[in-house]
Structure 1
């Protein structure tokens, strides 16, 4: 992913108002992010742990999505991220929901997916972050193929938000 600015991030959100986008917590360390290793930018709001954000590049420019993180009701032994297919034990995967864009979102419609709780899918794919015991299943796919699959999964999720 190419480096992005706070202004570009704020203007990319498709499922919240301009006022909400203006108030959301953008990471302070954008200059230090490992952009060359990121396929998308994802982060949790440090002051409101039930909020998360995801910004990805698309053919139409940046697409940002505000997410709600469901509370963890029980500890599961192992769960898998629906984007990168990394498995985690305990609270490493969370159900995250996104209000749909436009009229559907105004009517309360949303879509959800089980995602890496820290939204660090790109780093898990590249072995830059350890997912713990059994985190990455052995696959014969190349890194490029894994990234392609992850981005296809992300594009499918974002399409559901925007449609």
Structure 2
């Protein structure tokens, strides 16, 4: 992903209300980010616990989404899989996030949702080396995991951009 400045990030949000844009607080980490090693910038809002943000490049332009986390959480006694990075985690570390569609559909309340890592750490998760499992025959390479994350993230964003 190419480096993005604060202004470009703020202008990228396609489904944000004026109030959400006013309240948007960028994570301090964006100042130190190694942009070559991320395909999307995602973070949870520190002030509004059910709000998250996702910014990625679609075509040549950054596209940002305001996300809303579902209330409650999964069970910590069951495993869940993030639909973006395909990382298996305890159920309470995977959350349903929804994003309002753009345009008239979003004004009607239409949303697109998917289960995502609760801390929105998918970019880091696909770059971690998973522990060895004795019965594992084939392991995806880091490049394959990153490509899968990119493909699934774009599909989610494109679902929000569709005029339903």
Bucket of the pairwise TM-score, normalised by the shorter protein = 0.7 to 0.9
Note if 1:92 corresponds to 2:96: no
Note if 1:64 corresponds to 2:64: yes
**TM, length-normalised to structure 1:** 0.87
CA apart distance, 1:115: 0.4
CA apart distance, 1:28: 2.6
Residue 158 of structure 2 corresponds to 159
Note if 1:48 corresponds to 2:48: yes
Tell me whether 87-96 or 18-27 shows the greater mean CA deviation. Answer: 18-27
CA apart distance, 1:29: 3.1
The C-alpha deviation readout for 1:26-64, integer Å capped at 9, x for no partner, is 113321224332221000000111000000011040010
Q: How many residue pairs align between the two structures?
A: 159
Alignment check: 8 A CA contact 1:10 1:22 kept: no
Q: Which runs of 4+ in 1 moved over 6 A?
A: none
Q: What SS does the corresponding residue of 2:98 show, helix, strand or coil?
A: strand
**TM, length-normalised to structure 2:** 0.86
Structure 2 unmatched runs, 5+: none
Structure 1 unmatched runs, 5+: none
Alignment check: 8 A CA contact 1:37 1:123 kept: no
Q: Residues 139 and 92 of structure 1: is their aligned pair in 2 closer, same or farther, counting only changes over 3 Å? A: farther
For the aligned residue pairs, the C-alpha RMSD in angstroms reads 2.3
The separation in 1 between residues aligned to 2:49 and 2:42, in whole angstroms, is 13
Note if 1:141 corresponds to 2:149: no
CA apart distance, 1:25: 1.6
Q: What SS does the corresponding residue of 1:55 show, helix, strand or coil?
A: strand
The separation in 2 between residues aligned to 1:143 and 1:114, in whole angstroms, is 21
Residue 28 of structure 1 corresponds to 28
